[in-house]
């Protein structure tokens, strides 16, 4: 296990590039693999999770090659996968296992998909139940990975998901590509809609209203080249660092600003942050822009309800911002954080307490009272990339040395994180 020592800096300044959006990268690879011909993907993330999707698709007989800064995927159509020779390995990636399971449930073969220790502990009943009600059959022990998927014909369903999860919604929609008629998913709160947007780009018929989406099956996917924007979840670390460190100003180019993902911009703005959007454009149905953030005094705010899915991955870094905001910042309705790569509510509380912050963990969130000066501490990343990166930012403003244990896990979503950060830090 690697450890990284972080010492305080005065400010961050300059321009930074973030990896391609992880969620969009997974979808681009999966849809391209199902298209009737070759697709070129630009700006694809090189994150560990995305490599896991590539690895699984290769195991299913799909050719994926690097070609002058882009990735070429030879789609073989919806029925082109080959039975894998061994179990597919989704490693740490919930998106890989949950989205691919929707496709695998419709294949004319049996296969197994597994993951690392963290993934094996994450809930899979949420995808097994809807897939089985479509006629699929999946064996598991206690609804956890490894999953043994007995592929076969599926029929359309009208599914009311009880959890606000884009992974569940996407799993059912992908399975719906194989079912005759309209497969409909409703969710308790709107979640990221990259799957719907990209399916439309690939020519599928998508419909729906607020909190409901449907796909018309069986659908054929037209080969489409995709340009993946930068990942706002990766940009969030730099935005918060700029807000908190005096005299900071940071520009992040070509960041995806899909409305279902910009909760972090809304949250920071509500707390008084100055984040500007320029160079706004739209490509492949996904808006993008340059984000510029400058040092801003923050005040506390409360976040809950339907706002939570839009900030779900950014709550750990928002917690760091909250330690420097005046008043009580409240997060509620975020119980889903307990079943991410780690129990992120517990991980944030334990590590912030170690740094001297005032935090009270609740069943489905926390209350942070600020501002409090932070001091360096030994941080347990729990092998969770977003915890490691959030506490690296905390370490930049803490007095003394902060040690991030298990820092190598940042490669799961942001392989060049420490280098990119170093380049903009002003001592």
Query: Which stretches of the chain bind ligand S3P, using CB under 6 A?
Result: 23, 26, 95, 165-167, 170, 191-192, 312-313, 336
Vertex 260: Cα angle to 364 and 53 (nearest 5): 85
Is 325 within 8 Å of 300 (Cβ atoms)?
yes
Q: What residues form DSSP beta bridges with 186?
A: 160, 212
Separation between Cα atoms, residue 212 and residue 184, nearest integer Å: 7
| Side-chain half-sphere exposure of 283, counting CA atoms within 13 A | 19
| Side-chain half-sphere exposure of 203, counting CA atoms within 13 A | 12
Give the nearest distance from C-beta 234 to ligand S3P in angstroms: 12
Give the nearest distance from C-beta 192 to ligand S3P in angstroms: 6
Give the nearest distance from C-beta 99 to ligand S3P in angstroms: 7
Dihedral of alpha carbons 407, 411, 414, 420, sign: positive
Report DSSP state, residue 35: S
Give the strands of the sheet with 70-74, arranged side by side.
63-67, 70-74, 38-42, 226-227
Is 218 within 8 Å of 302 (Cβ atoms)?
no
Beta-carbon count within 10 A of 117 CB: 8
Give the nearest distance from C-beta 276 to ligand S3P in angstroms: 26
Kindly give the pairing relationship between strand 3-6 and strand 402-405: antiparallel
Separation between Cα atoms, residue 79 and residue 168, nearest integer Å: 22
Whether residue 49 lies in the annotated active site:
no
- Output 336 or 343, the one with its CB closest to ligand S3P: 336
- Output 226 or 250, the one with its CB closest to ligand S3P: 226
Give the nearest distance from C-beta 179 to ligand S3P in angstroms: 21
Separation between Cα atoms, residue 177 and residue 217, nearest integer Å: 5
- Output 55 or 401, the one with its CB closest to ligand S3P: 55
- Whole-angstrom CA distances from 35 to 38, 191, 198, 232 are 7, 25, 12, 27
- Output 23 or 107, the one with its CB closest to ligand S3P: 23
Is 130 within 8 Å of 179 (Cβ atoms)?
no
- Output 21 or 227, the one with its CB closest to ligand S3P: 21
- Output 170 or 392, the one with its CB closest to ligand S3P: 170
Separation between Cα atoms, residue 263 and residue 285, nearest integer Å: 19
> 204, 233, 411, 383: which is closest to 316 by C-alpha?
233
Give the nearest distance from C-beta 277 to ligand S3P in angstroms: 22
State the burial class of residue 115 (Cβ atoms within 10 Å of its Cβ: 0-12, 13-18, 19+): buried
Q: 193, 231, 313, 384: which is the annotated catalytic residue?
A: 313
Q: Name the closest residue to ligand S3P (Cβ).
A: 23
- Output 23 or 381, the one with its CB closest to ligand S3P: 23
The backbone torsions φ and ψ at residue 394, rounded to the nearest 5 degrees and listed phi first, read -60, -40
Give the nearest distance from C-beta 258 to ligand S3P in angstroms: 11
Give the nearest distance from C-beta 206 to ligand S3P in angstroms: 16
Separation between Cα atoms, residue 156 and residue 154, nearest integer Å: 7
Could you tell me the two tokens for 296?
């801003």
Dihedral of alpha carbons 91, 125, 311, 196, sign: positive
Give the nearest distance from C-beta 328 to ligand S3P in angstroms: 25
Q: Is the peptide bond before 291 cis (omega within 30 degrees of 0)?
A: no
Residues marked active site are found at 313
């Amino acid at each position: 296990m690697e450890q990284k020592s972080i010492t305080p800096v005065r400010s961050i300044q300059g321009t930074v590039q973030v990896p391609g959006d992880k969620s969009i990268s997974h979808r681009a690879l999966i849809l391209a693999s199902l298209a009737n011909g070759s697709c070129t993907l630009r700006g694809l993330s090189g994150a560990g999770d995305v490599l896991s999707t590539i690895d699984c698709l290769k195991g299913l007989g799909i050719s994926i090659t690097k070609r002058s800064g882009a990735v070429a995927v030879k789609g073989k159509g919806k029925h082109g996968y080959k039975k894998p020779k061994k179990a597919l390995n989704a490693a740490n990636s919930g998106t890989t296992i949950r989205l691919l399971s929707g496709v695998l449930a419709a294949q004319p073969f049996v296969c197994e998909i597994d993951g690392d220790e963290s993934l094996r502990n994450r809930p899979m009943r949420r995808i097994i139940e809807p897939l089985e009600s479509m006629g699929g059959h999946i064996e598991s022990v206690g609804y956890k990975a490894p999953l043994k998927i007995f592929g076969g014909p599926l029929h359309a369903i009208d599914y009311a998901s009880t959890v606000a999860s884009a992974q569940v919604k996407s799993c059912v929609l992908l399975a719906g590509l194989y079912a005759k008629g309209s497969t409909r998913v409703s969710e308790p709160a709107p979640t990221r809609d990259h799957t719907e947007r990209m399916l439309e780009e690939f020519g599928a018929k998508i419909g729906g209203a607020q909190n409901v989406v449907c796909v018309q099956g069986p659908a054929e996917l037209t080969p489409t080249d995709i340009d993946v924007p930068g990942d706002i979840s990766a940009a969030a670390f730099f935005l918060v660092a700029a807000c908190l460190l005096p005299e900071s100003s940071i520009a992040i180019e070509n960041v995806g600003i899909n409305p279902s993902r910009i909760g972090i911009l809304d949250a920071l703005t509500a707390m008084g942050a100055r984040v500007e959007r320029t160079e706004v454009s739209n490509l492949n149905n996904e808006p993008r822009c340059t984000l510029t953030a400058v040092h801003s005094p923050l005040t506390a705010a409360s976040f809950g309800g339907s706002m939570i899915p839009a900030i779900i991955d950014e709550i750990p870094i928002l917690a760091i911002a909250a330690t420097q905001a005046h008043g009580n910042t409240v997060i509620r309705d975020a119980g889903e954080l307990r079943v991410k790569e780690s129990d992120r509510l517990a991980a944030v509380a334990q590590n912030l307490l170690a740094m001297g912050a005032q935090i009270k963990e609740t069943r489905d969130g926390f209350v942070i009272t600020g501002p409090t000066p932070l001091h360096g501490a030994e941080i347990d990343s729990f092998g969770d990339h977003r915890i490691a990166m959030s506490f690296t930012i905390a370490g930049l403003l803490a007095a003394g040395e902060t040690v991030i244990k298990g820092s190598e896990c940042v490669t799961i979503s942001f392989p060049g994180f420490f280098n990119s950060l170093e380049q903009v830090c002003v001592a």
